[in-house]
């Protein structure tokens, strides 16, 4: 495995993202969230959008997993759907570029985007939702897959928990993977590593206080 990916083995990557309607939606604020994650011991950061990548790249040398979220009329694929976006993320200093590698119709062939990322000097993190998609991503040259989109495609298991079954399937098939998605507690992050994950990505539970507040409000209301 690539040395940079090896450096993430058994480690925590923190996703610092704010949705357009979040009060935290500002590159400066994202860069401060990123620094807080660095202070806490994160080994890498997952960052969305060119402005946020630039702001975070300016304050840390930690490995960055970059992505864009782009809403398009012609596809349901929104995580880094084209070469142009993928290459720009690499040019801005992302060591790893994450993109949707599901089997949904997409504007450009996956293999072309993978090649463009590699040509730009970055690694490919293929965000998948099923075992078959993971296998396909590796066949096409992905460096690592992430369980990011499990539960977010119409044909994957809809879940409110991490997709433990998918992790077991990936481990059973001997496919390296990063666990990402709904890892909402330290115990779940640790469990993902025990389930065979190479590394874990945690987002909402650490960097979306609006979402976490909602979890508490729900629990308080139900008590």
Ligand X SMILES: CC(=O)N[C@H](C=O)[C@@H](O)[C@H](O)[C@H](O)COP(=O)(O)O
Q: Which residues bind ligand X (CB under 6 A)?
A: 15, 17, 46, 67, 148-149, 152, 180-183, 201-204
CA angle 76, 95, 190 (to 5 degrees): 80
Q: What residue is closest to ligand X based on CB?
A: 203
Q: Which is nearer to ligand X, 131 or 189 (CB)?
A: 189
User: Residue for token digits 């993978």?
Assistant: 114
Nearest Cα neighbor of 85 from 40, 136, 48, 45 is 48
Q: Which is nearer to ligand X, 13 or 87 (CB)?
A: 13
| Residue 101 C-beta: closest distance to ligand X, Å | 13
Q: Which is nearer to ligand X, 46 or 106 (CB)?
A: 46
| Residue 19 C-beta: closest distance to ligand X, Å | 8
| Residue 137 C-beta: closest distance to ligand X, Å | 16
Pair 147, 189: CB distance under 8 Å:
no
Per-residue burial over 16-31, b = 16 or more CB atoms within 10 Å of its CB, e = otherwise: bbbeeeeebeebebbb
Q: Which is nearer to ligand X, 131 or 179 (CB)?
A: 179
């Amino acid at each position: 495995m690539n040395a940079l990916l090896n450096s993430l083995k058994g480690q925590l990557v923190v996703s610092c993202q704010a949705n357009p309607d979040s009060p935290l939606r500002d590159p400066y604020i994202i860069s401060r969230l990123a620094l807080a994650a660095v202070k806490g011991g994160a080994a890498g950061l997952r960052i969305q959008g060119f402005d946020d990548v630039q702001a975070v790249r300016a304050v840390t040398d930690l490995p960055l997993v970059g992505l864009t979220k782009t809403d398009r009329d012609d596809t349901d694929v929104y995580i880094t759907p084209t070469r142009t976006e993928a290459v720009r993320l690499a040019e801005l200093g992302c060591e790893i570029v994450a993109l949707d590698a599901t089997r949904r119709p997409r504007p450009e062939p996956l293999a072309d985007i993978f090649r463009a990322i590699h040509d730009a000097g970055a690694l490919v993190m293929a965000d998948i939702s099923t075992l078959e998609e993971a296998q396909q991503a590796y066949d096409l040259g992905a460096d690592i897959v992430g369980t990011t989109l499990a539960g977010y495609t119409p044909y994957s298991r809809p879940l409110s928990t991490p997709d433990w079954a998918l992790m077991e399937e990936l481990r059973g098939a001997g496919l390296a993977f990063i666990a990402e998605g709904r890892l909402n507690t330290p115990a779940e992050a640790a469990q993902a590593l025990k389930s065979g994950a190479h590394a874990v990505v945690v987002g909402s539970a650490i960097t979306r206080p609006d979402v976490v507040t909602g979890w508490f409000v729900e629990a308080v209301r139900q008590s």
